[in-house]
Structure 1
Amino acid sequence: MIRTRSVTDDMIWVGAGDRRLALFENIFPVPRGVSYNSYLLLDEKTVLFDSVDQSVSRTFLENVSASLDGRSLDYIVIDHMEPDHCSVLEELLSAYPNAAVVGNAKTFVMIEQFYSPLAEARRVVVRDGETLSTGRHCLKFFTAPMVHWPEVMVCFDESNGVLFSADAFGAFGAMAGNIFADELPIQQEWLPDMRRYYANIVGKYGAQVQSLFKKLSGLDLKTICPLHGPVWRTERDITWLLEKYTLWSSYQPEEQKVVIASASIYGNTEAAAERLALELAGLGVTEIEMYDLSATHFSYLIGEMFRCSHIVLSCPTYNGKIFPPMRHLLDDMRELNLQSRTVALIENGSWAPMSGKLMTAELAAMKNMTVLEPAVTLKSSMKEEQAGQLFSLAKQIAGGLKRSL
């Protein structure tokens, strides 16, 4: 049974959603599932833009076959060779023996790494800025290395302003019939998953995203078709989307807000973090989020840190080192290139508190991170003198928030 929607007069969404998947890339929780988007252009030449993950291959292949309605498939454009977008490539090549694969030189290297070598007659190699005519449509290709793999490219349809954006502008979450952003509660439901997707999947490569923006700056974008998440087709939504990506890729916070990440063994370190939150609230700070690192997947914290201007890290010493959940978070903050934030620290240790010093050293390896001094040091549990120190730290944070408004 066909399950598709028209995107333009002659282009069809032939993707599918997976609501059974628990972990995207076997790392990131996706409680709302994920969509795998693919698009079929029915011009004088037929063009399929990317494919899908093996988990939804049956639905996808049925959609492609029904949408072609007896026509042959001429081209398969591969914007991104990651398996969740090309797992069905060999089935497509077998089902449509006259189809040629369109990609850049690195695309075909990766095809041979994942699958069998592709005959030269079935290869169409495109370079940055080159075009391919399909009849009424003219497709222009732009390489986008490291957004977020080295072979990535995007494709712009010069005839109607459609950008096939690969993993850029994607989001976690499976769609339910409504595939367009203007049909969905983007701000309420989709923005957190868009941000978490960007921060954890693409976040390390902000400079490369900015480079892609320069290539696309002169284009009249009418529609953006990513490989995950909603399709963007209104000027207002596209403007908003580009503004978000500009902030994220330049590592500027979206909001003047405090996120408190607490890792605690017996609850004493968390109690100090809660006291800090109360002091902040008492000083008039209303935008506070608090998370227990042992109960919340690190990807949610990374998403929040891309959003918030101020971060509090509250952590005990463990075997003379940083408590492992906090260590994992700090590793990801560094690897995903988080920068330009103000950070406050709470450390704990029953005989040799070391986590504050060690966290400071980790933050020093990140760009433009302002660490508030002094850190609040606990020995086993919070005492009255720490209450005053927490109030002083809250005043520093609150003062910084007010200056940033």
Structure 2
Amino acid sequence: MDISDSVKYVGVDDNSIDLFEGQFEVPLGMSYNSYVVIDEKTAVMDSVDANFGEEWLSKVESALGGRKADYLVVQHMEMDHSSNVLAFAEKYPDAKIVASKVAFTMMKNMFGTDFPGRQIVAAEGSELKLGKKTLAFIAAPNVHWPEVVMTAIKEDGILFSADAFGKFGAYGAEEPEGWSCEARRYYFGIVGKFGANVQSVMEKIKPLGIGTICPLHGPVLTGNDAVEAVRLYGIWSSYEAESDGVAVFYTSVYGHTKKAAESLAEKLRARGCPKVALNDLAREDPFECVEDAFRYGKLVLASTTYNGGVFPAMREFIERLCERGFRNRTIAFVENGSWAPAAARTMASLLEGCKDITIIGEKATIKISPTAETDSMLDAIADAMTK
């Protein structure tokens, strides 16, 4: 498949995988993208997962059309992209390996060799001339591994973005909710902690006039799709709210806290809240919940008191948020406790490490089951969240 007159797609799809990186559900599969740049010299951009080596090498050979491979650019050493570097190096013994200095150290650890005599170190601002096309390298440390480089074809405005701008799903998978839904879950699940690093790279690519983005997962982005992806990455990496609304997250043992959460959701809607996202933390995809928490600027956390603290699913949820640099949000608490409610205090304590969190004074406390007093407390929260 041709991306441009000089770039061909040679990636593979994994349609049998159930969990990406052992934790993210991927019902639409996963793509491992790779590209070949054809010019006076040829460059292959990244390899693929270990299970698809033969398929990938066959595609590379076909794209080269009988020509030799001059370079393999290794932008990212995570194993779903680097597992076939050694196989490539053996098949094309004259090809140079292009990567960051840190990546070569990782290769030594992974393959037992860092390809001495074949190394070209890609550093910030370095370039590689292929003929009419020039590969310009952009250091992108901790987006989301420390060795990452991105690569631009200067003459064409094409960016090979490593894991950035990727999404869950096979390359040709139908996207019923568009690119942003699974890209958002991917971003906050995998890259979310590194917002400052993403912001730094975004500044570097601004002057390059990028019109096509070729990530290591998901579709190639062009035109308005590329513009929209850059816009969303600007929002996500700055930890700003993307959508106006309130996300309500609850855990419930016997249904009383769930009933209160559902009642609060109705009160919010009745007050004109443009979107209310209601999430059962015990039953829904945890990373869909993380996605919603970062998407909206206002959250309500509703939990049963459990072992003198908070219900495990709520604790794990808050810990996931904190691990990803959660910040700049307004939060209200709903707690339930049969004799000594402590969930709100525990949730506040778990959030102490997050920056710019505003906890509103209104709190709803339930003693086993909701009452008229509880209803008044929920009204106060709904008022505060929608004023």
TM range (shorter): over 0.9
Alpha-carbon distance between aligned partners in 2 of 1:325 and 1:294, rounded to the nearest angstrom? 6
Deviations 1:141-186 (A, max 9, x none): 1111110000011011112111111011111111228xxxxxx758
1:391 matched to 2:372? The reply is no
Alpha-carbon distance between aligned partners in 2 of 1:316 and 1:209, rounded to the nearest angstrom? 37
* Cross-structure match for 2:196: 207
* Cross-structure match for 1:224: 213
Alignment of 1:355-366 (within 5 A): 355-366=343-354
Instruction: In structure 1, give the amino acid aligned to 2:195.
Output: G
Deviations 1:334-380 (A, max 9, x none): 11012111111111111211110011122232111111113211121
Instruction: In structure 1, give the amino acid aligned to 2:100.
Output: N
Instruction: In structure 1, give the amino acid aligned to 2:249.
Output: A
* Cross-structure match for 1:96: 92
Where 1:55 maps in the other structure, the secondary structure is: helix
Alpha-carbon distance between aligned partners in 2 of 1:10 and 1:210, rounded to the nearest angstrom? 29
Does the 8 A contact of 2:328 with 2:356 survive in 1? yes
Alpha-carbon distance between aligned partners in 2 of 1:349 and 1:201, rounded to the nearest angstrom? 35
1:274 deviation in Å? 0.7
Instruction: In structure 1, give the amino acid aligned to 2:286.
Output: F
Deviations 1:8-43 (A, max 9, x none): 112100001112111110011111111111000111
Alpha-carbon distance between aligned partners in 2 of 1:340 and 1:286, rounded to the nearest angstrom? 20
* Cross-structure match for 1:152: 148
1:128 matched to 2:100? The reply is no
Instruction: In structure 1, give the amino acid aligned to 2:139.
Output: T
* Cross-structure match for 1:9: 5
Aligned length: 387
Alpha-carbon distance between aligned partners in 2 of 1:60 and 1:327, rounded to the nearest angstrom? 42
* Cross-structure match for 1:18: 14
* Cross-structure match for 1:66: 62
Alpha-carbon distance between aligned partners in 2 of 1:73 and 1:245, rounded to the nearest angstrom? 34
1:89 deviation in Å? 1.1
Where 2:44 maps in the other structure, the secondary structure is: strand
Where 2:207 maps in the other structure, the secondary structure is: coil
1:333 deviation in Å? 0.7
* Cross-structure match for 1:343: 331
Alignment of 1:234-313 (within 5 A): 234=223, 236-313=224-301
Alpha-carbon distance between aligned partners in 1 of 2:136 and 2:147, rounded to the nearest angstrom? 16
Alpha-carbon distance between aligned partners in 2 of 1:267 and 1:18, rounded to the nearest angstrom? 39
Where 1:381 maps in the other structure, the secondary structure is: coil
Q: Which runs of 5+ in 2 are unaligned?
A: none
Identical positions, percent: 39
Instruction: In structure 2, give the amino acid aligned to 1:358.
Output: T
Where 2:335 maps in the other structure, the secondary structure is: strand
Q: Which moved more, 1:51-60 or 1:310-319?
A: 51-60
Alpha-carbon distance between aligned partners in 2 of 1:109 and 1:45, rounded to the nearest angstrom? 26
Q: TM-score, length-normalised on structure 1?
A: 0.93
1:237 deviation in Å? 2.3
1:321 matched to 2:317? The reply is no
**Among 103, 109, 112, the residue aligned to 1:113:** 109
Instruction: In structure 1, give the amino acid aligned to 2:121.
Output: V
Where 1:374 maps in the other structure, the secondary structure is: strand
Instruction: In structure 2, give the amino acid aligned to 1:339.
Output: R
**CA 1:384–1:62: 2 relative to 1, 3 Å:** same
* Cross-structure match for 1:331: 319
Deviations 1:35-54 (A, max 9, x none): 11100011111100001112
Alpha-carbon distance between aligned partners in 1 of 2:171 and 2:215, rounded to the nearest angstrom? 13
Alpha-carbon distance between aligned partners in 2 of 1:384 and 1:257, rounded to the nearest angstrom? 26
Instruction: In structure 1, give the amino acid aligned to 2:158.
Output: V
* Cross-structure match for 1:190: 179
Alpha-carbon distance between aligned partners in 2 of 1:365 and 1:200, rounded to the nearest angstrom? 19
Instruction: In structure 1, give the amino acid aligned to 2:194.
Output: Y
**Among 43, 46, 71, the residue aligned to 1:47:** 43
Instruction: In structure 2, give the amino acid aligned to 1:141.
Output: F
1:71 deviation in Å? 1.5
Instruction: In structure 1, give the amino acid aligned to 2:343.
Output: S
Q: Which moved more, 1:118-127 or 1:351-360?
A: 118-127
Cα root mean square deviation, aligned: 1.4
